[in-house]
Amino acid sequence: MHSIRPMDAPFGAEITGLDLNDAPDDLVFGEIVDALHAHGVLCIRDQRITPEAHIAFSRRFGALEVHVQSSFNLPGYPEIYRISNCVDENGKAEGLAEAGRVWHTDLAYLAEPSRCSLLYALEVPHDDAGRSLGATMFASTTLAYKALPEATKQRLQGLTAVQSYAYIYDNITAISKPGRQGLKPLNDEQKNKVPPVEHPLVVQHPHTSAPILFCSGGMTERIVEQTDGGALLRELCDHAIDPAFVYRHDWRVGDLLIWDNIQTQHLAVDDYWLPQRRRMQRTTVKGVAPKAA
**What domains are defined for the chain?**
3-180+191-292 (3.60.130.10)
> Exposed, middle or buried: residue 56 (CB in 10 Å: 0-12, 13-18, 19+)?
middle
Number of H helices, E strands in the chain: 7, 17
Lowest pLDDT segment from 34-43, 67-76, 148-157: 67-76
pLDDT computed for residue 194 by the predictor = 83
d(CA 131, CA 215): 32
Is residue 273 pLDDT above 70, yes or no?
yes
pLDDT computed for residue 187 by the predictor = 75
Count of C-beta atoms within a 10 Å radius of residue 283:
26
pLDDT band at 223 (very low <50, low <70, confident <90, very high): very high
Count of C-beta atoms within a 10 Å radius of residue 204:
17
Backbone angles phi, psi at 112, to 5 degrees: -120, 90
pLDDT digits (tens, 9 = 90+) for 105-115: 999 999 999 99
Is residue 218 pLDDT above 90, yes or no?
yes
> Exposed, middle or buried: residue 73 (CB in 10 Å: 0-12, 13-18, 19+)?
middle
Gyration radius (Cα) of the chain, Å: 18
**Does the reported pTM lie above 0.85?**
yes
Residue 222 CA from chain centroid, whole number = 20
Q: What is the mean pLDDT of the chain?
A: 93
Tell me which amino acid residue 92 is. K
Phi-psi region of 92 (alpha: psi -120 to 50; beta: other; left: phi over 0): beta
pLDDT band at 116 (very low <50, low <70, confident <90, very high): very high
pLDDT band at 96 (very low <50, low <70, confident <90, very high): confident
